[in-house]
Structure 1
Amino acid sequence: MITVVESEDDPRLDAFRWRDRQLASKLDRLEQVGAGLFVAEGDLVVQRALAAGCTPDALLCDEPMGTHFAQQLHDTTIYVGNEDLRREVTGLGVPLKAVGLFRRPGLVDPAVLIRSSQRIVVAEALDNPTNLGAIIRSAAALGWDGLLLTEGSADPLARRALRVSMGSGLQLPFARHENSLELHAMLQESNCATVALTPHRNAQEIHATSFPPEQKIALLLGSERDGLTADVLSRAHHQLRIPMFRDTDSLNVAAAAAIALFALGPR
């Protein structure tokens, strides 16, 4: 159902202005206003959210895109507004052709994700949504099966993370486990080789390491600032580093992750 809106102050558009904390950020806030929602920004991300089976609450589009989605979504309210309205409502400074307000998918059990995955990314307190979004996009593109997040990690469905991942956060299954050490025990019990990516000089160079094709692998990534904790590093089966030149001590975590995801990914 298409509804034309003419004022950026129209209260029906309020949810499109909500930030991540109002939409959904913590499980203990699920009963509060806006909980259980996420915003897909851009027509490609909206289409990927629909393809992933996410339920739309409402869309805000230009006229051609509104007409396009109306042919698929007969029971969803589709607001159509001009460029200035769409630019102001989203706060992005660009008039995206489509923005969607969706219900978040159900939670995934970490144990189920571990059992069903051959290649898993583990984000240890990786709190930057831009980095997380870039890592998710690389993991999805390079054939990895899932993402595990520990306490302090960003939300894969946060607006910025989802925008940077170009919707890949809707294609790569993810689960959260607040206790990092328990999560590592679960990975090791499933015969998963835990591989810590670190710039430490005593780590083995990544190109000098190989695994049999049938080996399950979990790639452990730390935050940009602090990296992996000493506890995590000591428990990992392998510590790997990317060799660097010109006195470079480290790479951005998203860039380093892309290299490791390719090097350790399926062939």
Structure 2
Amino acid sequence: MPLIKLETAADPRVADYVALSDAALRQRTDPAQGLYIAEGSKVLRRALGAGHVPRSFFLAEKWIEGLADVLAEYPDVPAFVGAPGVLDAVAGYPVHRGALAAMNRPTPLTLAHVLAGALRVAVLEDMVDHVNLGAIFRSAAALGIDAVLLTPRAADPLYRRAVKVSMGAVFQVPWARFASWPGGLAELREAGFHIAALELTDDASTITELAAAGHDKLAVVLGTEGDGVSAAALDAADEAVLIPMRPGVDSLNVAAASAVAFWELRVC
């Protein structure tokens, strides 16, 4: 299929890319329409490398040459090309990276599927910040976390910003959602996981002590910025753990804390 030149932001053929900056809207509409947006050449290529299927491409002219091999591989997929001003008007924000693709969402994985063979999993409780979510996936991919599990109210890992921050790690690390929370922790325990909540409590062990305990299967629960892990999840966990810090500092950003915890608890 030849490149399709966009002359106006009102072109109905690029409806998949309208209002990309509206997180609340996109988190409602994208899953319902079975799509997600991959932004940036590297992320786009990683999505395709993971076997995901493109619906269309949306790019500035300067990216045509650099993505010529991709466009040639998918000759039947429409590729919309426009000036930066037109792309920005469609998306609702400055499209600096200049190359996007609307992708078909893969079939959601089941809890049983992502836990099969897993030894280290991260549980993200009600995490709605897409930057933190994406950063945690990136650390999980780098530091040996086998799966990420999300509570029902957690944000969508395939939302554009989470995908971009993760640098495509959301395609690499298997993930699934619990059907209920904190009831889902019982399923983890039945699967043989020791459950540790990363939270400051009076009786918390250190992350080093947890690593030394030698649990074969370990699930680390991470809470939201500010609120941390909920009381209900703490009650359902086997123990609370903390990262020792210098006096006067009691916490790290949750994404930074996850990287420290994943490194300390990695399976060598």
When normalised by structure 2's length, the TM-score is 0.89
The one-letter amino acid of 2:53's match is T
CA separation of 1:21 and 1:72: change in aligned 2, threshold 3 A: farther
The one-letter amino acid of 2:40's match is G
Query: Residue 42 of structure 1 aligns with which residue?
Result: 40
Q: Does 1:188 align with 2:219?
A: no
Alignment of 1:62-101 (within 5 A): 62=61, 63-101=64-102
The one-letter amino acid of 1:36's match is G
Post-superposition offset of 1:260: 0.4
Query: Residue 204 of structure 2 aligns with which residue?
Result: 203
The one-letter amino acid of 2:177's match is R
Query: Residue 149 of structure 1 aligns with which residue?
Result: 150
Alignment of 1:82-121 (within 5 A): 82-121=83-122
Q: Distance in 2 between matches of 1:263 and 1:70?
A: 42
Q: Does 1:57 align with 2:55?
A: yes
* Secondary structure, aligned partner of 2:55: strand
CA separation of 1:145 and 1:25: change in aligned 2, threshold 3 A: farther
Q: Distance in 1 between matches of 2:56 and 2:245?
A: 48
Post-superposition offset of 1:7: 2.6
Range with greater deviation from structure 2 (108-117 or 139-148): 108-117
Range with greater deviation from structure 2 (209-218 or 115-124): 209-218
Post-superposition offset of 1:183: 1.3
Range with greater deviation from structure 2 (240-249 or 212-221): 212-221
CA separation of 1:234 and 1:123: change in aligned 2, threshold 3 A: same
Would you say the 8 A contact 1:143–1:265 is kept in 2? yes
Post-superposition offset of 1:217: 1.1
Post-superposition offset of 1:149: 0.5
The one-letter amino acid of 1:129's match is H
Would you say the 8 A contact 2:197–2:240 is kept in 1? yes
Q: Distance in 1 between matches of 2:28 and 2:187?
A: 25
Query: Residue 128 of structure 1 aligns with which residue?
Result: 129
Would you say the 8 A contact 2:56–2:77 is kept in 1? yes
Post-superposition offset of 1:23: 4.7
The one-letter amino acid of 1:87's match is D
The one-letter amino acid of 1:241's match is L
Q: Does 1:260 align with 2:258?
A: no
Give the gaps of 5 or more residues in structure 2. none
CA RMSD of aligned residues (A): 2.1
The one-letter amino acid of 1:54's match is H
Q: Distance in 1 between matches of 2:213 and 2:232?
A: 27
Give the gaps of 5 or more residues in structure 1. none
Post-superposition offset of 1:97: 3.3
Post-superposition offset of 1:245: 1.8
Residues 9-47 of structure 1, C-alpha deviations (whole Å, 9 max, x = no match): 3222221124455555489x73xxxx2110011011110
CA separation of 1:218 and 1:117: change in aligned 2, threshold 3 A: same
Would you say the 8 A contact 1:60–1:79 is kept in 2? yes
The one-letter amino acid of 2:76's match is D
Q: Distance in 2 between matches of 1:155 and 1:240?
A: 27
Post-superposition offset of 1:250: 1.4
Count of aligned pairs between the two proteins = 262
* Secondary structure, aligned partner of 2:132: helix
Query: Residue 169 of structure 1 aligns with which residue?
Result: 170
Would you say the 8 A contact 2:19–2:92 is kept in 1? no
* Secondary structure, aligned partner of 2:167: coil
Sequence identity (%): 35
